[in-house]
Amino acid sequence: MFLCCWLALVAFVPATSSINPGVKVKLTGKGLEYGRQLGMLSIGQKLKTIKVPDVSGKKRVSPIGKVRYSLSNMQIVNVALPKSAVELVPGTGIKLSIGNAFISLRGNWRVKYLRIIKDSGSFDLNVNGVSITTSIAMRSDETGRPVVSSVNCAASVSSANVKFHGGASWLYNLFRSFASKAIRSEMQKQLCPLVADAVNDLNPQLKTLNVVAKVDKYAEIEYSMVASPTVSKSSIDLSLKGEFYNIGKHQEPPFSPTVFALPPQTTNMLYIGVSAFTTNSAGFVYNKAGALSLYITDDMIPQGSPIRLNTRTFGALIPQIAKRFPGLMMKMLVKTVKDPAVTYQANNVTVQATGTVTAYAIQPNATLSPLFVLNLDTSVSARVFVSGVRIAGAVSLNKMGLTLGTSYVGDFKVGILDSILQMVLKVVVIPRLNVQLAKGYPLPSLGKMKLVNTELQVLKDYMLIGTDVQFAG
């Protein structure tokens, strides 16, 4: 039977930090159930390592006198764990109960009596009704990774039956009860430490949480826990920092995470909420690092396009260019001047980016002569998706607005450049950006975790990834 109604209060580290998480992770009952299955395999393996020391003793039996007996070479042959359950205990931790477990072992017996008479054989021992209950406490270690431990473990063994092979039955009866009792208590002593070992074995796995996930040469994402996990009736919730940083130079952006709550869905094992803060911290890092700039040259424009990056094309629209810089190739620098801002609305991810476009004529001696600077306001729509254990995206142009910043070629109406700039964004800038976005950004993950049945939803202020997980091997 399950040892029910047994409940341990596990003290959690209180949330000392006031940092709001950028990423939230929720492990549901379904996730916990998968964890139980993996955990039981591990506990089963551990219980097979029970070592029962030899048992020996002597007993005076009339009329033959003193009989010495020993049980040795005891080996576990089978462990069956038919019943187990995990349960979330709100505010405290996870309760694991194993009931009706069965352990069988085999060994050798030996007796000696009347000084010279020896007898020996083998025996089978079945230990029934093994019950173990323990609480699994979870906290955050100094690196921001979760650590689990088994606390308040209790184990009991209800009975042990021995079956002897060989020898005379009157002999067995001498030590049958003594032997079962000794073995039973020896086993009982070892159950909790072995379960604690199995729980501790999870920690090397948990240590693989990518608290600092490298993205590329500019950025890394920090996924350390900003508070201890919280346990409710239906889930374990982790609060992770979820912030992009410039590699080697951790500078905080001028904005901070806003509070967001994951919806009460529990159909998947795991839910990961990635807030607008996380994406915006990426915009801050890449913009600061100067990574959001691109020189555009004529060779980047498709061969078939009638629009070329030269003073002939532009000179047709702005005669000053044709006049002052005849027959030259051109170059354009497109770069952001502000951190791009991402907005999440239901089923809609929009990025606003503000930048400049500087056009140059390339002199025969390679000197760049500036022609004009335009201010560029763009709005792009993003499609986001999960690829492997990464989140990736692709953007398309929504809207573009141009105003004149500076002109070195006299006054002109900016509107005449609209279609050229649209083309440049659509065929040069955005495809290159999409190559980067398709590479994806690592999600928080453990070891060889694989995501299956994954769905991504865009909600107000965050993206929600609902997924099941699989651990290889």
Ligand X SMILES: *[C@@H]1O[C@H](CO)[C@@H](O)[C@H](O)[C@H]1NC(C)=O
Of 70 and 358, which has the nearer Cβ to ligand X?
Answer: 358
- Cα(102)–Cα(104) distance, rounded to whole angstroms? 7
Residues that bind ligand X (CB under 6 A): 345, 348, 350, 363, 365, 367, 381, 398
Residues contacting 66, CB < 8 A, separation 6+ = 58, 59, 60, 113
Residue 283 CA, distance from chain mean position = 23
Q: From 283, 230, 282, select the one nearest 261 (Cα to Cα).
A: 230
Residue 212 CA, distance from chain mean position = 12
Of 126 and 381, which has the nearer Cβ to ligand X?
Answer: 381
343 class by beta-carbon count within 10 Å (0-12 exposed, 13-18 middle, 19+ buried): middle
Strand spans (E) along 141-167: 146-165
Of 86 and 322, which has the nearer Cβ to ligand X?
Answer: 322
User: What does the CA dihedral 417, 419, 420, 421 come to, rounded to 10 degrees?
Assistant: 80
Q: Taking CA 152 as the corner, what is the angle to CA 150 and CA 155, rounded to the nearest 5 degrees?
A: 95
Q: From 339, 310, 149, select the one nearest 246 (Cα to Cα).
A: 339
In the complex, least distance from residue 456 CB atom to ligand X, rounded to whole angstroms: 16
DSSP state of 91: T
In the complex, least distance from residue 135 CB atom to ligand X, rounded to whole angstroms: 47
In the complex, least distance from residue 379 CB atom to ligand X, rounded to whole angstroms: 6
Of 25 and 349, which has the nearer Cβ to ligand X?
Answer: 349
In the complex, least distance from residue 391 CB atom to ligand X, rounded to whole angstroms: 19
Query: Are the C-beta atoms of residues 260 and 302 closer than 8 Å to each other?
Result: no
In the complex, least distance from residue 250 CB atom to ligand X, rounded to whole angstroms: 32
In the complex, least distance from residue 397 CB atom to ligand X, rounded to whole angstroms: 12
In the complex, least distance from residue 346 CB atom to ligand X, rounded to whole angstroms: 9
Of 238 and 349, which has the nearer Cβ to ligand X?
Answer: 349
Of 23 and 328, which has the nearer Cβ to ligand X?
Answer: 328
- Rg for the chain (alpha carbons), in Å? 35
Of 223 and 462, which has the nearer Cβ to ligand X?
Answer: 462
Of 350 and 422, which has the nearer Cβ to ligand X?
Answer: 350
Q: From 418, 374, 372, 427, select the one nearest 399 (Cα to Cα).
A: 418
CA separation, residue 112 to residues 68, 74, 331, 420 (Å): 5, 19, 101, 103
In the complex, least distance from residue 458 CB atom to ligand X, rounded to whole angstroms: 10
